[in-house]
Structure 1
């Protein structure tokens, strides 16, 4: 690690406010850096620190980073020779380790079937093509079939889920959107197999007739470590009868997934499926959840009008991306709000709202007989099915987020939607929201987001006062791309915003991985950490204490019919 002298503080002001006059072509090249390929591993590599890293700040700041996109500079859409969508990139384990004011950087490939196969082709997608089943990206059917048996082997996990991070007990668990993840040691960035739970399939029949889909990537965790989540349960009652339920469960110190409540959508009659048409009754189509809300007394599920389609089971094609087959946004249908009482698992209320799509949450709380639920909302599903394709990311960004509040009357469950931003605020693409997690489920004031996430336009970390709508932001130089901000409270903090914001990303100009440390109260830059190696785009990150990861998980089976 190289530590700069106090005279380098002046450099930080340039880092904070410089807006260089790059051409659109140059900005496109800088962004393309994040859609390229990591060439080699780096283990505990040195970094350069400009400014300061508080000595009290410590942990493994791990990120679900992309490691390979293939040949995005010479895209062959027929082969294909590149990963077509951000969500499908080949992951690499990545972290900044922070301790006693020093920082190291690690890029490490996980020991998985995916990496074994890619290594066989010398990590060249012109040779391998896209050989794994995807979420949105086009695959090579011949290569999918050629390697399918390898993915069915139980000797090694096929891949490490690379969306979000959970913590159960002392284990860090890499998650996507199924109810099981892979244990990763944040210290070594080694995977230790599927997470082990002590229940048997959550109490549901462990047979091919039963399955799960759409477990939100993001959980809620109570101060005592109890984790809450939810999943869609599917059960075949006959050749053409499919029952669908929304199951809410929690996991405690016993590592047992306790089912708390169930919402029964009903039973779909698949004789009503014709060709590629969607199931005709939206009431029997569960809405997509990437995240959900928790207040002091309720779990509240804001299901998007991006609806799961039971008819997908009649024509599912394992060579074709999963999401376009299984979900579709229905602008003529509705978004569904389900309210479950935490104490006994009873679903006490339901509301239908205008069609919307939700990615991430800010905070949620109860006041004066109402629940106030703050989230990042969109008018359709384009944030998934349009703008996060590689071809779209390489084009100009023109997309905006509705930072919204749903207010629910907890007596009659009428609900309304309003904006948390001021009327004169400029439209902005705001994503990857977080709050001070000590305020999760109770009254809070501040949310933190990244502006122009994964876009070539100038990035910033935004602090939003949800009571007044006022915004303060720290703007990064053009060519610098940052992702999810994480709030870390200062020891002994009294005020909600007394702490730091950590964010990772890369500098497309220098082609280096970076970490930025902001003062959350003032939104000023305290320190910039630069690795000697490259980082690419990715998804969520999390700061784990240095002692997390001492237990090793083992294999646990669960049936997932689609996904």
Structure 2
């Protein structure tokens, strides 16, 4: 008699007793190696409903070979199979304090019990014996495609460091500075090189401005008071100015000279005038009224007006010439949402789309909001598509979304905002981050919503990963290609706690916590026949428990008798794969676009948003690189890249500006704001790179009256668009 021990989850989450996700079964770690990083082999198929708390699910990692796939003689040798169900305590894994995490890893196919899916002929995947001859090797350095010796190189993950100075090339203090004096009137910069004569307009930037309020300090980088920047380019000359966003949170904190508004990672100082009953009453107020309006993430145009964004439904209209804060809008006054992402999409006709969350009688729902171009964009806003969150009490954290010709793309990562905990945290005056839960054993879901009907058309599954930014997405020959800057888990959010940043030089794990890579997922749209074949092989209509009863243990297979999974991706030149799994879900394995950490990615947005593209631009996110302040241009077709860097210089998000009548996708310039590390706190600059060669055209540097921190996101307002306004 063979015995299979299967771990399953309890019926309910012991922590909340709500219908919520708990970690689903996971086999013991099996360390593998791939060409770009070390990986811990993990895979968890789902069964039944999405919530692992309310469904008993079985890991394929403990799954032996189906008897019908064995030879006749082998089947005769099989004895009775007994399944021992062993409950496993539920637990939540993402705490609000930092923790050591492994290097970002990938192993999207199941392994365990000496059985693994391995590549066979014709790009198929077969059950075969797995010989674990791998070792935990170091990440190798990657040279520049053009042979540039000054290019960024990833340090080895196990390199010995000076324990007091683990990252000698990285000065994280560029993020921790506080602006002490606004620059209301533009100051002129010293221009070196030649600014293209056609380049006229303003680079608008948003980001952290001050971590200090009186004698108090914010806990997290995302709490910092928003600071707006403007680099104005006119006839080869450049000026600079910066001003704080005059949000209600900023004005209240400044008036009180202490933190009186709770932020993402910081609790407000106790207010003796506000009792627990005031806080309970605030829960039932209008969305956005009980949260900070410190919109310090991004800037986007709505028609001829510019607005600052964060994830609350509050946005601020600013004057793009003076940076003055003009008005505050609560989008929940116009459409039924409780929050939205920091990154809406502006279409070529001026229509704006964003992803928000609505609360319905059936639970939280991800909704796509359309703001049609015109005089009354907000008054005419409407919800055009929606999909329910998979967990009623744990909707996913959303920072962005995608859009193609026919689909809205919603990527639901297993980082959620716990609704029960959020309600409790408001009563206890705790920051939002305390409500965030990471379910590392739950898969990532990718939803495709039809742009015409608003209905859910396809759902795809992938390994759990964390992300903030999608690079681009497009349709091609019956597939959706989706490029994302991915992390193994959300530990990088913990890396942005102020104390963690201050102590990063003594933390040898900091770089691994921040490790991410740009990955490409290819989602097949025509897989109905594969689903039918899968159903006949796997009996997918049956539960995983039923499937387990038909399985045998530990026998060798000949290749001819093996169970085959067909790769559904047929796009030429793509190594990303997708497979129909036994429960009829489509599981996607990504391919690596570039072996460098890439963040705040930008493309030729006006022309290639939602369309096939070749290049994206990003900043380095590898703090252990030889030069962490590196700009990167990636060719996603040839898998090559170009880099620009300067010692002690830290550029921000690169923005591509096309030349008039561009002859190619990279015919234009790349603009990036610059700050410098160490003792050069008052030095600010604007960099102008050739979009093709990624070499420097020109720069303008400024001496400011006080420190200027590094910024996050922005928008280029061309002089042409100014005149049209």
- In the superposition, the TM-score normalised over structure 2's length comes to 0.61
* Rounded Cα–Cα distance in structure 2 between residues aligned with 1:34 and 1:200: 34
Measured after TM superposition, the shift of residue 105 of structure 1 is 0.7
Decide which of 263, 281, 301 is 1:134's aligned counterpart.
263
Q: Which residue of 1 aligns with 2:597?
A: 429
Q: Which runs of 5+ in 1 are unaligned?
A: 1-15, 72-78, 122-127, 205-210, 267-281, 553-563
8 Å CA contact 1:80, 1:139 repeated in 2:
no
Instruction: Give the SS at the match of 2:426.
Output: coil
Corresponding residue for 1:12?
A: none
Match of residue 384 from structure 2: 260
Cα offset for 1:62?
A: 1.3
- The answer for the alignment partner of 1:162 in structure 2 is 296
Asked whether 1:231 is paired with 2:356, we answer yes
Say if 2:520 and 2:593, in contact at 8 Å, map to a contact too: no
1:186/1:548 contact within 8 Å kept: no
SS at match of 1:355: coil
- The structural deviation recorded for 1:212 is 1.2
2:220 to 75, 80, 85: 85
**Structure 1 equivalent of residue 238 of structure 2:** 103
Residues 1:467 and 2:601 aligned together: no
Pair 1:35-2:155 in alignment: no
Change in Cα spacing, 1:541 to 1:321, as seen in structure 2 (3 Å) is farther
* 1:418 equivalenced with 2:629 (yes/no): no
Q: CA separation in 2, counterparts of 1:537 and 1:451?
A: 14
CA contact (8 A) 2:151 2:644 kept: no
Provide the C-alpha distance between the structure 1 equivalents of 2:444 and 2:600, rounded to a whole number of angstroms. Answer: 21
8 Å CA contact 1:486, 1:503 repeated in 2: yes
Q: Is the partner of 2:245 in helix, strand or coil?
A: coil
Q: Structure 1 residues 80, 389: closer, same or farther in 2, change over 3 A?
A: farther
> Where does residue 387 of structure 1 map in the other structure?
495
SS at match of 1:141: coil
Q: Secondary structure at the match of 1:315?
A: helix
Residue of structure 1 equivalent to 2:338:
212
Please say if 1:355 is aligned against 2:479. no
What is the DSSP-based 3-state SS (H/G/I as helix, E as strand, rest coil) of the residue aligned with 1:317?
helix
What is the alpha-carbon distance in structure 1 between the residues aligned to residue 454 and residue 520 of structure 2? 24
1:443 aligns with 2:612: yes
Matched residue, 2:649: 480
CA 1:184–1:415: 2 relative to 1, 3 Å: farther
Whole-Å separation in 1 of the counterparts to 2:241 and 2:616: 29
Which residue, out of 509, 520, 539, partners 1:405?
520
Residue 116 of structure 1 corresponds to 251
Preserved CA contact (<8 Å) 1:133 1:144: no
Whether 1:181 and 2:322 are equivalent positions in the alignment is: no
- Write the deviation string for residues 254-307 of structure 1: whole angstroms up to 9, x where unpaired: 4121211122348xxxxxxxxxxxxxxx46532222111111111111111102
| Closer/same/farther in 2, CA of residues 450 and 359 from structure 1, 3 Å limit | same
Contact 1:454–1:481 (CA<8 Å) still a contact in 2?
Answer: no
* CA-to-aligned-CA distance 1:39-72 (integer Å, 9 cap, x gap): 212120121112122221122211113221129x
Deviation at 1:166, TM superposition (A): 1.8
Q: Report the equivalent of 1:365.
A: 474
* 3-state SS of paired residue (2:432): helix
Within 2, Cα distance between the matches of 1:331 and 1:106?
A: 43
Rg larger for: 2
Give the deviation of 1:144 after TM superposition: 10
Q: Are 1:323 and 2:496 matched, yes or no?
A: no
Which residue of 666, 686, 698 corresponds with 1:497? 666
Which deviations, in whole Å up to 9, do the C-alpha atoms of 1:143-194 show, x marking residues without a partner?
A: 9959x99x99999x97551111221111111111134411111111011212
| TM-score normalized with structure 1 length | 0.78
Alpha-carbon contact 1:461-1:474 (below 8 Å) kept: yes
Report the Cα distance in structure 1 between the residues aligned to 2:314 and 2:252, rounded to whole angstroms.
23
1: CA distance, partners of 2:722 / 2:269? 37
Residue pair 2:422, 2:432 contacting (<8 A) in 1 also: no
Q: Which residue of 2 aligns with 1:342?
A: 451
- Give the superposition deviation at 1:27: 5.8
How far the C-alpha of 1:539 sits from its partner, in A, is 1.6
**The 10-residue stretch of structure 1 (451-460 or 95-104) with the greater mean CA deviation from structure 2:** 451-460
Q: C-alpha deviations, 1:366-408, integer Å up to 9, x for none?
A: 1110000001011111122x11112222314513212111111
1:527: which partner in 2? 698
- Structure 1 pair 359–455 and aligned structure 2 pair: CA distance change class (3 A): farther
